[in-house]
């Protein structure tokens, strides 16, 4: 479980590094501000469709995983409750010593 947890954080660290690197690149770019803004605008126009598709796929996958985790939690709670009820019933029917 820890290995999966560490891998998911690795993705977030990578994404954070990309964002920080891009911001630093923009701050220290040798181009004038107007030129940099035009370049960003051009890039965003070219990649808008890809970005929306990527974000949509993340949004579609996330609820499924959240629902699955909630389902597992509900099953576990139900099993624990059933075990406690069975244990109480068994004690009721057990011969007294």
Q: Name every residue whose Cβ is closer than 8 Å to that of residue 31 and which is 6 or more positions away in sequence.
A: 39
Quickly state the pLDDT bin for 94 (edges 50, 70, 90). low
**Mean pLDDT comparison of 61-65, 68-72, 79-83, 92-96, highest-scoring range:** 79-83
What DSSP letter does each residue of 15-77 carry, written as one string? HHHHHHHHHHHHHT-SS-HHHHHHHHHHHHHHHHHHHHHHHHHHHHHHHHHHHHHHHHHHHHH
Q: Tell me what the pLDDT averaged over the chain comes to.
A: 77
Model confidence at 45, pLDDT cuts 50, 70, 90, reads confident
CA 14 to chain centroid, in Å, comes to: 14
1-11: pLDDT as tens digits: 455 555 566 77
Distance from C-alpha of 83 to C-alpha of 85, rounded to nearest angstrom: 5
Instruction: Report the distance separating Cα 81 and Cα 78, nearest Å.
Output: 5
Residue 76 confidence (pLDDT) above 80: yes
pTM, two decimals, is: 0.31
């Amino acid at each position: 479980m820890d290995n999966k947890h560490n891998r998911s954080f690795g993705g977030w660290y990578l994404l954070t590094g990309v964002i920080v690197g891009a911001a630093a690149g923009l701050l220290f770019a040798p181009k004038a501000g107007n030129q940099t803004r035009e370049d960003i605008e051009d890039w965003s126009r070219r990649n808008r469709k890809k970005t929306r598709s990527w974000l949509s796929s993340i949004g579609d996958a996330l609820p499924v995983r959240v629902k699955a985790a909630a389902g597992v939690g509900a099953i576990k709670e139900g099993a624990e409750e059933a075990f406690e009820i069975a244990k109480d019933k068994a004690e009721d029917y057990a011969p007294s010593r």
